[in-house]
Structure 1
Amino acid sequence: MLRIEGLTRRFGTMTAVDNVSLEIDRGAFIGVIGRSGAGKSTLLRMINRLQDASSGRILCEGQDVTGLKGAALRDWRQSCAMIFQQFNLVGRLDVLTNVLMGRLNHVGQARSLLKLWSAEDKAIALSALEQFDIAGLAAQRAESLSGGQQQRVAIARALVQEPRIILADEPIASLDPRNTRIVMDALQRINRHYGITVVCNLHSLDLARSYCDRLVGMAQGRVVFDGAPDALTDDVARQLYGIESGEVLDGHTPVPMPAPALPAAVPA
């Protein structure tokens, strides 16, 4: 279980995340929703320790994550993978190498700098790419891929870290409807097949209701809704989003594709 206790982040006089407390069960698919500036991204970055908390604690299976340093912090980031809105791939490197970067904490920096990847590491990376139907792109430079393809590469990179948790920060914000569904289906399959906890920031309520087991609504840095998707009525959404509610209540709900069986080459 991931437990967040009184988590707060201040930037000068501005409070981005204000006294947030949550409990997230292992294997859950959580959607974090709210208007821009609500504190969603800052919350995920604090969980991953890309951003330090001003106060409060993050605990995972009893371990205090907020105090980790050095190798222990690297281990935490390996077990709590991050997927970003802008993919964060190295454009000049090929797709396979980008995915192999997810194995850094398993092989050590020296071997990775020398590209001394083992046959097992390469097999794990190729298996992950195969799961997302992009193994044929392994030798291409990442910058030559479409946005949807790049995000699938980023998800494959996260998967080969062998994480317990995946944090996805607006992973479909810059994608068209078709690639949006492909990426969300990929996250859903990872969650269901491997039992990996997924916490995903989303702007679309329709997507959140379709894919997530539980929704956490944020406004002005605080949690103002926490419950099942069907408990989030349009009236509550209008209170949460204000004048932006018309943009998120668009009525176009992509239907998730059936989750096919996945190969077991990448460990859970």
Structure 2
Amino acid sequence: MLIIEGLTRHFSGRVAVDDVCMEVPRGAFVGVIGRSGAGKSTLLRMVNRLAEPSAGRILWNGTDVTEMRGKALRDWRSRCAMVFQGFNLSGRLDVLTNVLVGRLNKVPAHRSLLRLWSDADRAIALSALEHFDIAELAAQRAEHLSGGQQQRVAIARALVQEPEIILADEPIASLDPRNTRVVMDALARINRDYGITILCNLHSLDIARTYCDRLVGLSAGRLVFDGTPDALDAEAARRLYGLEAAEVMETAPLALMGPAPSPFLAHT
């Protein structure tokens, strides 16, 4: 279980996240919603320790993440994978190598530096690409892929880390509606097939209501909503979105595609 206690972050005198407290059980799919600048990205980055909290604690299965240093912190970042809005791939490298980067914490340093990937690691990476229907792109350079394809590669890279939790920071912000659905289906499939906990920052309320089993809403860094998608009424939306509330509440939710599961990690 992920427990966040009084998490706070200050930037140059401004409070980005303000005394947030929440508990997330293992296997949940939680959407973090709110306007741009509400503190959603900062919250996720603190959970992964890419940003340091100014106050508060983060606990994972009873272990204090905020106290981790050195190897313990590197291990945590492997178990707590990040998926970024900008994909964070190396465009000049091929797709398979980008995915194999997710195995860095699983292999000796000298092998990773020389890209001496084992057959088992390659099989795991290819299996992840097959899981998202992009195995045929393995030899292509990442920079030649569409946005939706690049984001699926990024999710495959996160999956081969064998994480316990995935933090997705606005993973669909730059995608068209079709690729939005493909990427969100990929995250839903990971959550459903492997029971991996997912926290996903989303600006779109209709996407959040469609895919997430729980929503937490931030406004000016404070937690102002925590409940099921059905519980998010017009009043709660106004607290989150202000004048934009009517617009976000009117949008009809997408239908899940529900792709068939795939046997990933059969090689481990």
Same fold (TM over 0.5): yes
8 A Cα contact 1:203 1:248, kept in partner: no
CA-CA distance at 1:251 after TM superposition: 1.7
- Confirm or deny that 1:139 pairs with 2:139: yes
- Confirm or deny that 1:241 pairs with 2:209: no
1:167 aligns with 167
1:66 aligns with 66
Distance 1:4 1:39 in 2: 15
Q: What percent of counterpart residues are identical?
A: 70
SS in 2 for 1:105: helix
After superposition, where does 1:1-150 map in structure 2 within 5 Å?
A: 1-150=1-150
8 A Cα contact 1:160 1:266, kept in partner: no
Distance 1:57 1:266 in 2: 36
Distance 2:56 2:65 in 1: 11
TM-score (norm 1): 0.97
8 A Cα contact 2:120 2:267, kept in partner: no
8 A Cα contact 2:123 2:267, kept in partner: no
Distance 2:120 2:92 in 1: 24
Supply the AA of the counterpart residue of 2:84. F
Give structure 1 stretches of 5+ with no counterpart. none
8 A Cα contact 1:204 1:249, kept in partner: no
Give structure 2 stretches of 5+ with no counterpart. none
2:207 aligns with 207
Runs of 4+ in 1 over 6 A off after TM superposition: none
Supply the AA of the counterpart residue of 2:4. I
Distance 1:168 1:88 in 2: 12
8 A Cα contact 2:90 2:98, kept in partner: yes
8 A Cα contact 2:124 2:264, kept in partner: no
Aligned residue pair count: 268
Distance 2:176 2:42 in 1: 25
TM-score (norm 2): 0.97
Distance 1:195 1:85 in 2: 23
